[in-house]
Every structure is written in structure tokens, then in C-alpha cells.
Amino acid sequence: MEQEEVEFLWVKLKPNSLPRNVSIIILGFVYHSTANGRAENAYLCDHIQKNMDMYLSKQPNAMMMVILTGDLNPTSTCLCSGSIARPNHLKQLVKFNTRDSCILDCFLLIDLTLSIFRGYPSLAHQIITLS
């Protein structure tokens, strides 16, 4: 599902090998510009909700692993990851500052375990790995 106002890419994966309790992986990648405000925040939240509902209705019995990640630019857009996570039953796993003194990057998911690689000093962001 596409909306012009939203910079978002959805990917549905069905790899040959998955954990026993997962049959489909849905990845969502977002970039929310620093120029965005309340109206664009509402468009983005609506876009995510509609797509999550669509995937769940098409695969009602599937065990889905949903991962939404990207840059919400919360300090300038005033959009927090909780606005997306709560209505979609997702959990924000990034609990540490990813850029200077704030969490720029959202990493929301339903399943998996998270490992944090603090990165190299030359990297602006830290690295998140899933296992």
C-alpha cells in the first residue's frame, strides 16, 4: 500500500529457513524528514496501521515477525516511536542514544532477540544485530 506523503518501504520475506514459531517476516523501513510536522506524523501513523492491518488480515493464522526500523527524527518531528508501537503491539528495542543525546532510530518488533554492538568510534550510529 503506497501513500505519497510517506517515505516507507515494506518487504515481505518467506525464507526457506526460519525459527519454528515464525512463518513470515515483514520488514518496514521508514525515513521521516526533519521538515515533517503533525499532519505528516498522522499520515505516517495511518500508513503503518493500514499496512499492518492489511498484512494481518491476509495472513490471519501466520506467525509473523514484524520489524519496523528507520529514522523518525523525533527531535524535530515530535513523533515518538510509542505513537507507532502501541497501536500495533510492537516493542521499541532501542533504549540508548543512537545519535548525540537522543534516540533517532526506531527499531520496533514483535519477536526476536536483540544484541547491541556499540560500533566503532568512527561510526555515527551504533549497530543492532538480531539473532
Q: Could you read off the pLDDT of 38-47 as tens digits, one per residue?
A: 889 889 999 9
* DSSP sequence for 60-110: TT--EEEEEEEE--HHHH---THHHHGGGT-EE---S-SBTTB--EEEEES
Given a cut of 90, whether residue 53 has pLDDT beyond it is no
CA distance 92 to 24: 20
CA torsion through residues 16, 22, 24, 30, sign: negative
The model's pLDDT over 70-108, given as tens digits with 9 standing for 90+, comes to 888 887 888 888 888 888 888 887 777 777 777 767 888
pTM for the model stands at: 0.72
CA distance 87 to 83: 7
Q: What is the mean pLDDT of the chain?
A: 77
- Cα-flanking dihedrals φ and ψ of residue 99, to 5°? -155, 115
Q: What is the mean pLDDT of residues 22-29?
A: 86
Please give the distance of CA 59 from its chain centroid, rounded to a whole number: 20
